[in-house]
Chain A
Amino acid sequence: MSTAEENPRAAAGERIADWADGRLGIYSLAKANMRKIFPDHWSFMLGEVSLYSFIIIILTGVYLTLFFHPSMNEVVYHGSYVPLQGIRMSEAFNSTVNISFDVRGGLLVRQIHHWAALIFLAAMFVHMMRVFFTGAFRKPREVNWLFGFLLFVLGMFTGFTGYSLPDDLLSGTGVRFMEGAILSVPIVGTYLSMFLYGGEFPGGDFVSRFYSIHILLLPGIMLGLVAAHLILVFYHKHTQFAGPGRTEKNVVGMPLLPIYIAKAGGFFFLVFGLIAMVAAIATINPIWAIGPYRPDQVSTGAQPDWYMGFSEGLIRVMPGWEINFAGHTLVLGVFIPLVVFPLVLAVIAIYPFLEAWVTGDRREHHIADRPRNAPTRTAFGAAWISWYFVLLVGGGNDIFATHFHLSINSITWFVRVSFFVVPVLVFLATKRVCMGLQRRDAEKVLHGRESGLIKRLPHGEFVEVHTPLEQGDLHRLTAHEQYAPLAVGETTDENGVERRLGRGEKLRAKLSKGYYGEGNQIPKPTAEEYEEITSGHGHH
């Protein structure tokens, strides 16, 4: 393969490439990927925002480790921030104050790190919803969906362990909440708590333990998952929306070199630049104003970072049930939220497998759905988001109470009821909206676009002129696939022998009817309907 010997006059770059190819085989990699085609759509950049903020977090995080002391040894502050002078605090808090006030640019890097973390989680959330609502999780991408989901969950815990490190009054309150939640676990709760904190809360260990989890364990796993996630994106090739010339068998877009190198590479700098400017003008987590942690002190309006808010909502609205029996206590008021917390997340994570089971579809799908064309899925996703946001309201019930002058009790009761009611209402409403949009698409296909021109007919009637759609649009609006509901078939054969249906099969048939049965999707216009309307009768 090596051409360097045969071509001694090749340019230096080429010779280096030849050298590397002889050892790493880079040409085969480049052949497959250098001009790889990526489709273009604004929503495809949400994942990029997540990736870039992750990189920013790693870069700034490494810088912060150069100055941060992950120790809970008590010191008395003598730094340059006057209001804290003479106050006892842990070395962790002390070094965080020093990063903020004595290291030039330290405050900026701290704020970029924290802002990027908030944006990372938000971008992952929105990216996940994009994948969900367009059905991009379908075969062959289910495993990548799970990788992404794991990244979101690990991101939450990396965030939690990260903002707990400064050992300030606000984050310490969160760590104490974690202790209370762990104590509620039946049988082993007290043991887990003693092992996590190295003894009674707060002890002198949790900062250094969270530190290794925050900077090594979790980011290490996440880095591996990000790499796997990206490799699979390359391997599967990106999904695309339906349109003229775009099929399940091709991918239409522009090549990695040069367009996406420039666009995606440039986008990294745009994201980094914007986060740096946000960090310059918007203070986040001013630990110097909050003060060091003391278990007997607290501030009002204590809130976790936004991505932990829904778990805060669970713990706030749960009634305080406690069952005492035979010398033991079952702390349901805390333990139930602790169990529901992963369940809320699991519901959305396993949905792709539920849908695949209902449809029984084993084919690959590379054309992304428009949300309206999968009304039940879209309604489910919207219901889940509403559930999540109801819990966020619950997590901020004190903030809502003070800002909107509402009673904290009514907000809590509102959230308790909404937890069960709102997702159902949102499901029904979203499904109706989707069906309405499907009807509008069918109308547009059959009758064309409203032109806004009013024509008066010879006998005095006024009609609006509809412009027929171009073929590309006709194709785009009818390209989606519609499943037929699962046919259970005869339950008795010709000899009168009953065929027994398993409970699972019955449930599947019922769900399938709910997904694709009459009244759950609008049949797309057929060619016959189209011809009947367009030939002869003119426009209605």
Chain B
Amino acid sequence: MSSQDNSPEEHLPSEQGAHGGAVARKDDPFADPGLPPHLPRIQDIDERAARRSERTVAFLFVLSMLATVAFIASYVAFPIDKIVYVFPFGHVSILNFALGITLGLALFCIGAGAVHWARTLMSDREVPDDRHAIEAPPEVRAKVMQDFADGAAESGFGRRKLIRNTMFGAMALVPLSGVMLLRDLGPLPEKKLRSTMWAKGKQLINMNTNQPLRPEDVAVGSLTFAMPEGLKEENADFQEQIAKAALMIVRIQPDEIKNKRELDWSHQGIVAFSKICTHVGCPISLYEQQTHHVLCPCHQSTFDLSDGAKVIFGPAGHALPQLRIGVNGQGNLEALGDFDEPVGPAFWERG
């Protein structure tokens, strides 16, 4: 319809297909004037400028080659553990830095060269191309419909309903085998999430020293993490056990404990709560000793350890479970049973 040259007749409004709704007048001031004339670049008219562009492109390609050579040289020359100071990036691994910069340069120069070539030396004449409707013309559509009807009729699919229905039945059942095969992805939940390793008589082991905790080890204002006696890092199920049994211990002046049960379950103001957040299971690790608030660093749920660890802010839905503790014959802290409710995030069967 229109082309890149600017012959005026072609672009008279009457020549233009009416589009855009409102425009329908013959002398429309807003009519499409057609493609503007091509403006030559300096490289199109001045051969010396074109030569300069050619040299620039070639220079970029040569630079890329040099960068690749430098990459190989860096790979061979720099030891992997050498750290150097490079302004303004600071202390960096020289190997990583040199490989990245040379590889980046080698790639970038190929790209820059190609783009510069395209922009300055290849033709920049804009040309139009016709579009064709995506949907098929009516004859094609009719032909396809007819073909389909013929094919369907020949199969007898609609007529022989017994075949059709049994085929649907078979196709619907066969994926069930696949579903069955997924069954052994994991065990059933049963009561696994309801209990932890804690039990009556298990001593509280300090996670830092691996020694049993004694009441005098726990100072007011400190935060101590403990695990059950018998749990070892080298155990095969250590990660699963610690994911439920992780415990935090703080000491609060008994008269500051507002919750009666919490006081009953403590030992001289030493209280033990599950470390696993009841929101989505992050380990809680931020303790504000003045207020006895603990904060989960993942989603900022805040619990008041002096008031039954109830939620005072954030997305957690219920208080942290408390572990009932006492002191055994050797003067070490011990659990007086498991948690009386599931630790960690809530779930459907929790109740």
What residues of chain A have their CB less than 8 Å away from a CB belonging to chain B?
A: 36-37, 40, 74, 80, 88, 101-102, 104-105, 107-108, 111-112, 140, 173, 176-177, 179-181, 183-191, 193-203, 205, 235-237, 244-255, 258-259, 262-263, 265-277, 279-281, 294-302, 315-322, 324, 327-331, 333-334, 364, 366, 397-398, 408-409, 412, 445, 471-472, 474-475, 478-482, 524, 526-527, 530-531, 534
Given contacts A237-B131, A321-B317, list 20 more A-B pairs with CB under 8 A.
A102-B80, A183-B345, A187-B348, A191-B188, A199-B186, A200-B240, A237-B129, A245-B33, A253-B127, A254-B127, A295-B242, A296-B225, A328-B350, A329-B346, A334-B346, A471-B29, A474-B30, A475-B30, A481-B20, A527-B23
Report whether B35 and A244 are in contact in the complex, using a CB–CB cutoff of 8 Å.
yes
Report whether B1 and A412 are in contact in the complex, using a CB–CB cutoff of 8 Å.
no
Report whether A108 and B115 are in contact in the complex, using a CB–CB cutoff of 8 Å.
no
Nearest Cβ on chain A to B311's Cβ, whole angstroms:
6
30 contacts between A and B (CB under 8 A): A80-B80, A108-B103, A176-B243, A180-B345, A190-B347, A194-B188, A195-B185, A202-B239, A202-B240, A247-B19, A248-B131, A251-B128, A258-B122, A259-B124, A265-B114, A266-B111, A269-B111, A280-B99, A296-B227, A296-B283, A315-B299, A320-B279, A321-B317, A329-B348, A329-B349, A329-B351, A331-B346, A334-B345, A409-B313, A527-B30
Report whether A524 and B186 are in contact in the complex, using a CB–CB cutoff of 8 Å.
no
* Contact A334 B89, CB 8 Å, known A108-B100, A276-B103: no
Report whether A179 and B280 are in contact in the complex, using a CB–CB cutoff of 8 Å.
yes
Q: Which parts of B276-303 form the interface with A (CB within 8 Å)?
A: 276, 279-283, 285-286, 297-301
Nearest Cβ on chain B to A287's Cβ, whole angstroms:
15
Nearest Cβ on chain A to B323's Cβ, whole angstroms:
14
* Contact A107 B93, CB 8 Å, known A194-B189, A199-B240: yes
Per the bound structure, the CA–CA distance linking A201 and B113 in Å amounts to 53
Per the bound structure, the CA–CA distance linking A315 and B298 in Å amounts to 10
* Contact A296 B246, CB 8 Å, known A184-B346, A331-B345: yes
Q: Which parts of B24-40 form the interface with A (CB within 8 Å)?
A: 25, 27-36
Q: Choose among B81, B89, B233, B315 the residue that contacts A281 (Cβ–Cβ < 8 A).
A: B89
- Determine the residue in chain A with the shortest Cβ distance to B342: A329
B271 contacts A by Cβ under 8 Å: no
Per the bound structure, the CA–CA distance linking A271 and B134 in Å amounts to 33
Per the bound structure, the CA–CA distance linking A472 and B6 in Å amounts to 12
The 4 A-B pairs of least Cβ separation, nearest first, read A280-B100, A180-B280, A273-B108, A266-B114
Per the bound structure, the CA–CA distance linking A111 and B101 in Å amounts to 13
Per the bound structure, the CA–CA distance linking A195 and B22 in Å amounts to 62
Per the bound structure, the CA–CA distance linking A37 and B131 in Å amounts to 10
- Determine the residue in chain B with the shortest Cβ distance to A236: B134
Per the bound structure, the CA–CA distance linking A102 and B95 in Å amounts to 11
Per the bound structure, the CA–CA distance linking A255 and B239 in Å amounts to 60
B331 contacts A by Cβ under 8 Å: no
Which residues of chain A come closer than 8 Å to B101, judged between CB atoms? Answer: 277, 280-281
* Contact A475 B243, CB 8 Å, known A301-B297, A320-B301: no
Report whether A329 and B350 are in contact in the complex, using a CB–CB cutoff of 8 Å.
yes
Per the bound structure, the CA–CA distance linking A197 and B123 in Å amounts to 59
Per the bound structure, the CA–CA distance linking A316 and B302 in Å amounts to 12
Nearest Cβ on chain A to B72's Cβ, whole angstroms:
11
B316 contacts A by Cβ under 8 Å: yes
Per the bound structure, the CA–CA distance linking A187 and B186 in Å amounts to 17
Which residues of chain A come closer than 8 Å to B112, judged between CB atoms? Answer: 266, 269-270
Q: Which parts of B129-151 form the interface with A (CB within 8 Å)?
A: 129-131, 133-135
* Contact A526 B285, CB 8 Å, known A262-B117, A296-B243, A324-B351: no
Q: Choose among A252, A267, A480 the residue that contacts B115 (Cβ–Cβ < 8 A).
A: A267
Which residues of chain B come closer than 8 Å to A412, judged between CB atoms? Answer: 300, 313-314
Report whether B19 and A280 are in contact in the complex, using a CB–CB cutoff of 8 Å.
no
B92 contacts A by Cβ under 8 Å: yes
Report whether A366 and B131 are in contact in the complex, using a CB–CB cutoff of 8 Å.
yes
B217 contacts A by Cβ under 8 Å: no
1/0 per position for B236-256, CB-CB distance to A under 8 A?
Answer: 000110111010000000000
Report whether A527 and B297 are in contact in the complex, using a CB–CB cutoff of 8 Å.
no
Q: Which of B30, B31, B104, B125 has the most C-beta atoms of chain A within 10 angstroms of its own C-beta?
A: B30
* Contact A176 B29, CB 8 Å, known A262-B122, A281-B100: no
Per the bound structure, the CA–CA distance linking A493 and B122 in Å amounts to 66
Report whether B109 and A196 are in contact in the complex, using a CB–CB cutoff of 8 Å.
no
Q: Choose among A181, A194, A202, A276 the residue that contacts B280 (Cβ–Cβ < 8 A).
A: A181
Report whether A266 and B80 are in contact in the complex, using a CB–CB cutoff of 8 Å.
no
Report whether B107 and A173 are in contact in the complex, using a CB–CB cutoff of 8 Å.
no
* Contact A295 B317, CB 8 Å, known A194-B189, A245-B36, A472-B33: no
Report whether B99 and A327 are in contact in the complex, using a CB–CB cutoff of 8 Å.
no
Per the bound structure, the CA–CA distance linking A188 and B188 in Å amounts to 11
Report whether A322 and B318 are in contact in the complex, using a CB–CB cutoff of 8 Å.
yes
Nearest Cβ on chain B to A282's Cβ, whole angstroms:
8
Nearest Cβ on chain A to B255's Cβ, whole angstroms:
28
Report whether A37 and B299 are in contact in the complex, using a CB–CB cutoff of 8 Å.
no
